[in-house]
């Protein structure tokens, strides 16, 4: 009886599962009106399969946060490697989101509340159906089988066999292995035919000098410039020249396209590589690199190519196994964000020029073949290695000394483009504090100093140092909102236009985490932090920009709050307003009103350039804001510096 009941239950379950299986196991053709929904059942999400089952299109779960990525991935290998994804901001969709195939808008991704999160680019024509090919290409066709849109023409970070990138096309890296927002690096086939790798300046959205180039431009041979980046069906990647010649990128061991999956990906660390994976495999099979570009990204990204792969004060080393960069903090330094292994390193001590007997407090770690490209402030000739080391220890400004060929270069923090390689032939002395202790807060200025209206630096130097750093951060954050603007206000911060009427408000970290939906929608970033879009509740929903600082003000909570109060006492119509802050543990965040029109850079460098009259108005407005900061507010503020008048 029990066995009969079990059999009936299994039969009943199979009847309920049948529609889902039919939906997933398509022949590659999807009719208009078809849809998928991001579900958490079974820790998986619904999808459409290509005819062979090699590829899947649908929702891939991201961790355990009830967030999903609309994407295409390899369906038959365990790691389900993603090769394409909807890369709008944010690049993730919450549980319950759906994608629909429509006649006039193509693929449309919506949230559970019906908000449009992403859609395929403008469709010229009427979509009759979708076709998911065994190449991994998802195509939208009209009733005459004309292609109206295809994922191959809108690549993200990966190119597959059968895919072509035309002149002007590009791949963009993701931010990290698990963060699919747009990252710092891109591969472009330029209009001149040169295939290049370069980093992106997030502040201006401009591109830095390439750190790799194929040199497929017009030369002595007519028509030698590249016109397409081709990944053929046999798994060979090359730049096709105008004259029919080829500049081949694929090299190394040859593999069978019948026996191996292959892809070429621009990794989040800026390395472009081709990988292969056996189609028939044991449990230990994985993606293996065939080749990668550039040869050594730690060395090939120089100062003109922008910041290196690793953050400030970090050291980049190339892994011999896969030619990928690894980052490491030197002794006396630790990661600003322990979860970001490629991020900046902060010193675990405070160095001050007010201390005496400097040489007894500090020591150096000696590294070989290590260097940082920037921040040099002194060059000393005819020195020995010992002289170089001792000179740095005794110099309160020195963070690192580089010694080579009887020359000593002294450099100050922060340092960028750090690298280690046997070709550098340099000895590096990294300064650190022996006891890793911090300095006590210095006494306040005396009443006599105030009476004489003197600016006392000896008593408040660490405070000014921390203050200067904070205002630098404010300036960087304001640049994302409308160029060189700050966020300041007087004792009572009032947002008249938005209906917000609150005092400068302290926020908890959890409040801001919830307001930004887990810091998912990034507005921009600078050297010291990232700006996220958020919504706070004050009777109604108010949009804000939340600046999450990477650095920790080492003088403590009191100084941080004092600085926030100082900038909170300024108010001008040309300055973005400060609404509040978070000072909780190691977390430092600033909350601003949101300027929804985007950055000044995006306006200045758009396809349609502003008129000269508009440019004059912009310059005049910025000048008025700076004039107020310099001369009119109660506490004059200079760029990257606050100087209280005493």
Annotated binding site: 548
Distance CA 452, CA 449 (A): 5
Taking a C-beta distance cutoff of 8 angstroms, is the pair 72, 136 a contact? yes
Stated as kind and residue range, the H or E segment containing 347 is strand 345-347
Going 11 to 17 to 22 to 25, the CA torsion angle's sign is: negative
In the block, residue with structure tokens 């209280």 = 644
Distance CA 487, CA 576 (A): 4
Distance CA 140, CA 129 (A): 6
In the block, residue with structure tokens 């991001």 = 38
In the block, residue with structure tokens 């020029």 = 353
- Produce one character per residue of 263-276: b if its CB has 16 or more CB atoms within 10 Å, e if not: bbbbbbbbbbbbbb
Neighbours of 513 (CB within 10 A): 19
| Tokens coding 389 | 């080391």
Radius of gyration (Cα) for the chain, nearest Å?
28
Q: By C-alpha distance, which of 327, 319, 156, 295 is closest to 212?
A: 295
Distance CA 559, CA 496 (A): 29
Going 243 to 249 to 253 to 255, the CA torsion angle's sign is: negative
Contacts of 467 (CB under 8 A, 6+ apart): 559, 563, 566, 641, 642
Annotated binding site for ATP: 548
- Produce one character per residue of 473-489: b if its CB has 16 or more CB atoms within 10 Å, e if not: bbbbbbbbbbbbbbbbb
| Tokens coding 70 | 């609309």
Show which residues are catalytic.
Answer: 641
- Cβ burial, residue 295 (10 Å; 0-12/13-18/19+): exposed
Contacts of 374 (CB under 8 A, 6+ apart): 303, 411, 415, 416, 417
Dihedral angle computed from the Cα positions of residues 179, 181, 185 and 189, in that order, rounded to the nearest 10 degrees: 130
Stated as kind and residue range, the H or E segment containing 451 is helix 447-451
């Amino acid at each position: 009886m029990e066995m009969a009941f079990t059999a009936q239950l299994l039969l009943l379950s199979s009847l309920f599962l049948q529609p889902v299986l039919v939906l997933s196991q398509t022949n590659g053709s999807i009719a208009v009106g078809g849809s998928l929904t991001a579900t958490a059942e079974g820790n998986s999400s619904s999808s459409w399969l290509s005819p062979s089952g090699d590829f899947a299109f649908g929702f891939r779960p991201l961790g355990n946060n009830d967030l999903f990525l609309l994407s295409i991935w390899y369906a038959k290998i365990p790691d389900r490697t993603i090769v394409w994804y909807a890369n709008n901001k944010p690049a993730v969709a919450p549980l319950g989101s759906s994608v629909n195939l429509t006649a006039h808008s193509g693929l449309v991704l919506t949230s559970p509340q019906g908000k449009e999160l992403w859609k395929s680019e403008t469709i010229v024509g009427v979509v009759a159906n979708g076709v998911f090919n065994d190449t991994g290409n998802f195509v939208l066709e009209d009733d005459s089988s004309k292609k109206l849109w295809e994922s191959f023409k809108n690549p993200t970070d990966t190119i597959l066999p059968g895919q072509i990138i035309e002149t002007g096309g590009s791949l963009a890296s993701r931010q990290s292995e698990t963060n699919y927002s747009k990252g710092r690096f891109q591969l472009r086939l330029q209009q001149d035919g040169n295939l290049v790798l370069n980093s992106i300046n997030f502040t201006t959205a401009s591109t830095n000098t390439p750190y790799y180039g194929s040199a497929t431009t017009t030369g002595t041979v007519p028509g030698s410039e590249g016109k397409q980046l081709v990944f053929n069906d046999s798994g060979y990647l090359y730049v096709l020249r105008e004259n029919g010649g080829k500049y081949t990128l694929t090299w190394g061991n040859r593999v069978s396209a019948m026996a191996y999956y292959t892809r070429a990906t621009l990794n989040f660390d800026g390395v472009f590589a081709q990988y292969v994976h056996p189609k028939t495999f044991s449990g230990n099979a994985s993606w293996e690199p065939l080749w990668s570009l550039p040869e050594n990204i730690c060395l090939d990204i120089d100062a003109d190519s922008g910041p290196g792969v690793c953050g400030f004060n970090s050291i980049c080393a190339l892994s011999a196994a896969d030619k990928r960069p690894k980052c490491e903090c030197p002794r006396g330094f630790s990661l600003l964000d322990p979860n970001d292994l490629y991020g900046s390193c902060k010193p675990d001590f405070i160095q001050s020029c007010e201390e005496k007997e400097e040489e007894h407090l500090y020591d150096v770690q000696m590294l070989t073949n290590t260097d940082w490209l920037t921040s040099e402030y002194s060059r000393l000739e005819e020195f020995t290695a010992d002289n170089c080391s001792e000179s740095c220890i005794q110099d309160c400004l020195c963070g690192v000394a580089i010694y080579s060929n009887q020359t000593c270069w002294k450099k100050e923090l922060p340092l960028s483009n750090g690298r280690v390689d046997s070709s550098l032939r340099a000895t590096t002395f990294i300064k650190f504090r022996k006891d890793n202790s911090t300095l006590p807060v210095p006494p306040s200025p005396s009443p006599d100093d105030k009476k004489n209206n003197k600016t006392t630096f000896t008593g408040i130097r660490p405070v000014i140092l921390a203050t200067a750093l904070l205002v630098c951060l404010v300036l960087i954050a304001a640049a994302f909102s409308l160029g060189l603007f700050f966020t300041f206000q007087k004792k009572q911060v009032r947002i008249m236009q938005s209906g917000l009427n609150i005092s400068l408000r302290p926020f908890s970290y959890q409040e801001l985490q919830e307001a930004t939906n887990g810091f998912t929608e990034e507005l921009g970033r600078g050297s010291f932090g990232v700006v996220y879009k958020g919504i706070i509740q004050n009777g109604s929903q108010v949009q804000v920009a939340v600046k999450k600082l990477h650095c920790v003000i080492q003088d403590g909570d009191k100084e941080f709050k004092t600085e926030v109060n100082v900038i909170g006492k300024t108010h001008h119509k040309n300055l973005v307003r400060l609404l509040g802050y978070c000072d909780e543990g190691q977390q430092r965040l600033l909350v601003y009103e949101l300027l929804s029109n985007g950055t000044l850079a995006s306006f200045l460098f758009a396809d349609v350039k502003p008129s000269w009259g508009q440019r004059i108005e912009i310059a005049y407005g910025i000048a008025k804001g700076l004039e107020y900061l310099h001369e009119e507010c109660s506490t004059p503020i200079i760029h990257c510096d606050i100087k209280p008048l005493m």
